[in-house]
Structure 1
Amino acid sequence: MLVIGIDPGISGSICFFQDGKIIDVVEMPTMIEGKKNKKQVNGSQIFNEISYRIKKIDKKDIKVVIEQVSAMPGQGVTSMFNFGQSFGILKGICSAMQLPMYFVRPAKWKKYFNLINSEKDASRTRAIEVFPYFSSQLSRKKDSNKADAILLASFYYETYKLDD
């Protein structure tokens, strides 16, 4: 089974996780929008990244797990709109590709990894502990978004296996 774990948003990441191992992790593809050089997710590149990695896999053996995000207190209206737009683009791409999607609230996967009420960077530490072979690709503080996608995919893989 291939689990595609997605931490949505401009600075998010996409993890390709197969049979309990990290196959690849890519930062969320983005592009510049408008005159102010604001970033937005690049839907066509997301499609390409996923298509490239699933072309030889039966779709019934693929699960897409997207972090179920919502508005956060103190976040601006514009940034919240952009975040929601990114989430919608991801849902649209996966729907068009006919990939099954599952949504997991951050509290659920973070509780599984004992990360509730911890610093943002704690997920990077946990991912390095669980997947030490991948530590060189999680060496920067900004790699915490990659770690979130990895742990999200791992959470689904581990809990899904328990249900089998």
Structure 2
Amino acid sequence: MSNIIGIDIGATGALALLSPAGDLLEVEDMPILRDGPAGRPNLNAPLLSAIISKWEAERVIVEYVGARPGEGAVGAFSFGRCRGVVEGVCAAHGLPVAFLTPPAWKRAVGIAPGKDGAKDAARSEAIRRWPQKADLFARVKDDGRAEAALIAVHRIGRRIAGGPWRVSRVALLMLLDGDAAALRAYKCGDRASDRVAQYFLRAGLKTPQNPQSPQGQSGA
């Protein structure tokens, strides 16, 4: 298993690198140059490529952005171009990309829907999740870093009753394989079908069908 990159798209966005265990390894602000018309910010493809190449991840999870009500043509074009650059750079590196809507990842990490207080809530959650890296989220403008990190972790982790986050090795394997059907079945409680059981075996965990298989550390 290898690392995962989370990307919060936009001029104030960022990239975050997480280990398979959910540890925050690296954070980079989006490589933006104000070289567009009238000095507008543009995502620089070579700089983005250099970051992704250096990190040697296996999969990328990106926040899905689309046209928003009341948004002007210039803003919509800028977001569209940013998404295109991200997809193109990832494709050039042979990295599969999954897109997640803001409500999906925010709901999964416990951030209330809507815009009011959402940016500070993301920073607060990131600091709680990675207190040893709190300085990375100290500034108001560091919300993009926090969101990128939470986007990467939300599909492989869970938190019960406000306790610490735990990462499922089974779900992580499914995510890295791009096996959405197996992941959906697993999240719905399936532990016995062949499609799901194979991931338990790969992770060295017991399954109902294979009670004699080796049991690794907790993480199913």
Asked if 2 retains the 8 angstrom alpha-carbon contact of 1:13 and 1:146, the reply is: yes
2:24 is equivalent to residue 28 of structure 1: no
Asked if 1 retains the 8 angstrom alpha-carbon contact of 2:36 and 2:42, the reply is: no
Aligned equivalents of 2:94, 2:110: Cα separation in 1: 33
Q: In the superposition, relative to structure 1, how do residues 101 and 35 fare at CA in structure 2: closer, same or farther (>3 Å)?
A: closer
Asked if 1 retains the 8 angstrom alpha-carbon contact of 2:14 and 2:144, the reply is: yes
When structure 1 is superposed on structure 2, of 32-41 and 123-132 the one drifting more is 32-41
Aligned equivalents of 1:139, 1:93: Cα separation in 2: 29
Aligned to 1:17: 18
Secondary structure of residue in 2 paired with 1:127: helix
Q: CA deviation at 1:145?
A: 0.5
Asked if 2 retains the 8 angstrom alpha-carbon contact of 1:7 and 1:13, the reply is: yes
Aligned to 1:40: 42
Question: What root-mean-square deviation, in Å, do the aligned CA atoms of Structure 1 and Structure 2 show?
Answer: 1.7
- Structure 1 letter corresponding to 2:48: I
More strand by share: 1
Secondary structure of residue in 1 paired with 2:82: helix
> Bigger radius of gyration, 1 or 2?
2
Q: Cα deviations across residues 53-98 of structure 1 (Å, max 9, x unaligned)?
A: 21xx6xxxx1100111111112221011101100010001111111
Secondary structure of residue in 2 paired with 1:151: helix
Aligned to 2:142: 143
Aligned equivalents of 1:91, 1:81: Cα separation in 2: 15
Aligned equivalents of 2:87, 2:62: Cα separation in 1: 9
Asked if 2 retains the 8 angstrom alpha-carbon contact of 1:3 and 1:157, the reply is: no
Secondary structure of residue in 2 paired with 1:71: coil
- Per the normalisation by structure 1, the TM-score is 0.89
% identical aligned pairs: 30
Of 51, 54, 75, the match for 2:53: 51
2:126 is equivalent to residue 127 of structure 1: yes
- Structure 2 letter corresponding to 1:70: G
Asked if 2 retains the 8 angstrom alpha-carbon contact of 1:32 and 1:39, the reply is: yes
- Per the normalisation by structure 2, the TM-score is 0.68
Aligned equivalents of 1:35, 1:50: Cα separation in 2: 27
Q: Which has the higher contact order (CA 8 A, sep 6+)?
A: 1
Could you list the structure 1 runs, at least 4 aligned residues long, displaced by more than 4 angstroms after superposition.
Answer: none
Alignment length (residue pairs): 158
Q: CA deviation at 1:128?
A: 0.7
Aligned equivalents of 2:125, 2:156: Cα separation in 1: 16
Asked if 2 retains the 8 angstrom alpha-carbon contact of 1:65 and 1:156, the reply is: no
Runs of 5+ in structure 1 lacking a partner? none
Aligned to 1:155: 154
Aligned to 2:3: 2
- Structure 1 letter corresponding to 2:99: F
